[in-house]
Chain A
Amino acid sequence: MDTTTIMVGYASCGIAAGAKDVRKLLEAKAAENGARITIKQTGCLGICYDEPIVEVHDQAGRWVYRKVNERKAERIFNEHVLGGKPVEGFLFHELSAGGREPKQYVFRQQQRIALANSGYIDPENIDDYIARDGYAALRHALLESSPDTILQTIIDSGLRGRGGAGFPTGQKWSLCKKSRGDVKYLICNADEGDPGAFMDRNLLEGDPHAVLEGMMIAAYVIGAREGYIYVRAEYPLAIRRLRIAIDQASERRFLGRDILGSAFCFDIKIKEGAGAFVCGEETALCASIEGERGMPRIRPPFPAEAGLWGKPTNNNNVETYANVPWIVRHGADAYKAFGTGKSTGTKVFSLAGKIERGGLVEVPMGIPLREVIFDIGGGIPKKRAFKAVQMGGPSGGCLPATLLDTPVDYESITATGAIMGSGGMVVMDERTCMVEVSRFFLSFTQKESCGKCTFCRLGTLRMLEILNRICAGEGREGDLEALTELAGLIKSASLCGLGQTAPNPVLTTLKYFREEYEAHIKHKQCPAGVCKNLITFHINADLCTGCTACVKACPVDCIRGQKGEPHTITLDDCIKCGSCREVCPTDAVYTR
């Protein structure tokens, strides 16, 4: 008898969007209807904006349903699974067997290497991973190759660290491999600290075995017997799936002693991070695993010589490891076929902020920013104007529309003043105030500064004070010069990456959006209508249709008017939250 498999997207994004209830309903329906229907969970396909996702796999192939709720799930089950007739209206056409030509393609420009399995396999089932060539790379490395050959493949592939700095992975491994010592450690940095980034979370939730396999291969190359995954405590589902994956891999003897009958021994432990952005820095991360405060120390010695507990240590990011099995299976040339000269392969980006299709994408390096944001991401919602894209989190910068043709590779992005970073792209529209955004980042880095270096500890505070004043309408002549001077001092007098890059959001916004700073300081205006001390909210009577949407949204009930008649805002009671402006369908609410 033919079987039908139903897959429910069950990563954090899907669950938050309501996948739990959908799954429960489908499981109950399947139980009523006998054994030929299997319900499986899977990770995130990357189209988080369309969650919850449900897939039906039948004789015709794969059918992907978007934005499924219980009502839709019931219809999909009755009409498609039982009745054999797909529910056209709910389909995500691009990925569906009999789907229509989509208006805009989301996957066509993508190339999935790190995300190859996410959304395709049950991350809690090792057999699913193995069925898609999982652990074939490890087998090849241990039984048919040698550490030197594998290292050469990684060097040749041009793979660079995906955590942000872009250091060549092969070179890093090579340094650690050469270090003397019987005990060496391997670390996977899964302490995704950049606010606005979620690549690592999705990878760990969607394909934990790929990360483990990458770690095993790296450990084999450098000669480590013990590995740690340092993962954020804020990612409970990722931690749970990693634990399951480690248990399953141990049962199958991919971990432990004499792996696959070779002499290679390796174990992996999970360390839950306790919340400190600075722990993204290697030496701080080591200190944190040792149970200390996560404070960076002077390098050299680099962790490759003396890292965790003073032993040679190799540390890579989640996405870096996730690329490794693919490279070993397909070879360096296949990997290098994607990307540009110095930035080979692909990069995963998380798209968020003021963007139509927020989610995860994986694209070949070198693709222009515009294609990522507008073609794949669908551009800005509500037909508003694009203002900036923030790349690289608190260490990165904000790029304006004039730089949208910048190719996404390490060198080109760095040349703009931003950084590639770990891959967070937060898109901002005309209603985002760039001064307030840079204040936001500075307040983050100021809070997260570990306090070791004076310039980072106090310099960021002084910068924050100036930015707070500017946003409050108390900006003064000379503020911008003071910001620039402080920025230079902090960059040059800080020990680690946190301080060296903390001024970047301010510097890039000063460079590309200087007029917005000047409007705040000289004219006491916030052109984007965000900084509360500088704006008041009003309703344009010509545009207002009296739909009462704003009345319902107003938390302090300060909007008056009859249905169908223009409304007015009582300024004395208004708390300037902007809720009315957000919900207004005719853009009648404005600030001045």
Chain B
Amino acid sequence: MEVTADRLLDLIRPFKGNDGATIPVLQAIQTNLGYLPPESFALIEQELGIPASKAYGVATFYAQFRTTPVGKHLIKVCDGTACHVRGSVTILTAIRDHLDLKDTDTTTDKVFTVQEVACLGCCSLAPVMMVGETTYGSLSFEKSREILDGYRAKEA
């Protein structure tokens, strides 16, 4: 997806004059575009006066931000303590294997991106994953694959 500077400016400008805008502006860009395009930082400096180096420092400090594009469906596999002791590592392996991911996190058709996260706060349903905003609990090897196959089928 080609991101135009105009689109970024539209997202950045509403934060002009706000205190502590660095994180909210990055969040706004990522919510709308799925990631932080490299040109964001210079535009943030130009529009909000926040040095690009600082914005980049903030972006790389927090786990939420990504500087590379993600697939259509972002899969967050929880590896919190409860999920960990209930086999989340196996689920992650199963998913990555099923999606044929070797060294990357995004499938070649850009449909799925897999991310391991610290805790989704649904510990009583461990192991858990989120696809987009939907949470799936009590996962097994098979169940996690079926869920992804369901998403895949909708794409075809």
Tell me the bound Cα distance from A235 to B86 in angstroms: 22
Tell me the bound Cα distance from A427 to B117 in angstroms: 20
Given contacts A277-B118, A291-B58, A440-B84, contact A350 B63 (CB under 8 A): no
Q: Which B35-50 residues have a C-beta within 8 angstroms of A?
A: 50
The yes or no answer to A418 lying at the interface (CB within 8 A) is no
Given contacts A16-B125, A293-B57, contact A426 B97 (CB under 8 A): no
- Contact between chains at B19 and A309 (CB < 8 Å): yes
Tell me which of B3-11, B67-75, B102-110, B132-140 binds A: B132-140
The yes or no answer to B21 lying at the interface (CB within 8 A) is yes
Nearest Cβ in chain A — how far from B116, in angstroms? 11
Chain A residues near B121 (CB-CB < 8 A)? 12, 192, 197-198, 201, 232, 234-235
The yes or no answer to B119 lying at the interface (CB within 8 A) is yes
The 0/1 profile, CB within 8 Å of A marked 1, for residues 65-106 of chain B is 100000000000001111011110010011001000000000
Chain A residues near B79 (CB-CB < 8 A)? 195
- Contact between chains at A428 and B58 (CB < 8 Å): no
Q: Which residue of chain B lies nearest to A272 when distances are taken between CB atoms in the complex?
A: B27
Tell me the bound Cα distance from A14 to B94 in angstroms: 25
Q: Which residue of chain A lies nearest to B54 when distances are taken between CB atoms in the complex?
A: A292
Nearest Cβ in chain B — how far from A322, in angstroms? 16
The number of residues on chain B lying at the interface, defined by a beta carbon within 8 Å of a beta carbon of chain A, is 46
- What interface size band does chain A fall in? 35 or more
The 0/1 profile, CB within 8 Å of B marked 1, for residues 264-293 of chain A is 000000011011110000000000111111
Chain B residues near A441 (CB-CB < 8 A)? 81
Chain B residues near A198 (CB-CB < 8 A)? 121-124
Q: Which residue of chain B lies nearest to A359 when distances are taken between CB atoms in the complex?
A: B124
Nearest Cβ in chain A — how far from B112, in angstroms? 18
- Contact between chains at B123 and A233 (CB < 8 Å): no
Nearest Cβ in chain B — how far from A501, in angstroms? 15
- Contact between chains at B58 and A293 (CB < 8 Å): yes
Tell me the bound Cα distance from A49 to B123 in angstroms: 10
Tell me the bound Cα distance from A577 to B142 in angstroms: 13
Tell me the bound Cα distance from A272 to B87 in angstroms: 30
Q: Which residue of chain A lies nearest to B62 when distances are taken between CB atoms in the complex?
A: A274
- Contact between chains at A582 and B126 (CB < 8 Å): no
Given contacts A195-B81, A274-B26, A291-B58, contact A16 B122 (CB under 8 A): yes
Given contacts A201-B121, A575-B93, contact A426 B85 (CB under 8 A): yes
The yes or no answer to A310 lying at the interface (CB within 8 A) is no
Chain A residues near B63 (CB-CB < 8 A)? 274-276
**A-B contacts, 25 listed (Cβ < 8 Å):** A12-B121, A193-B118, A194-B81, A196-B119, A196-B123, A271-B23, A272-B24, A274-B26, A274-B27, A274-B58, A274-B62, A274-B64, A291-B23, A291-B58, A292-B22, A294-B61, A353-B81, A353-B82, A353-B85, A358-B82, A358-B124, A426-B81, A437-B81, A577-B90, A579-B141
Closest 7 CB pairs of A and B: A196-B81, A195-B80, A275-B63, A358-B124, A291-B22, A352-B123, A274-B62
Q: Which residues of A contact B (CB under 8 A)?
A: 12-13, 15-17, 48-49, 51, 192-198, 201, 232-236, 271-272, 274-277, 288-294, 309, 350-354, 358-360, 390, 393, 424, 426, 428, 432, 437, 440-441, 444, 448, 450, 552-553, 555, 575, 577-579, 582-583
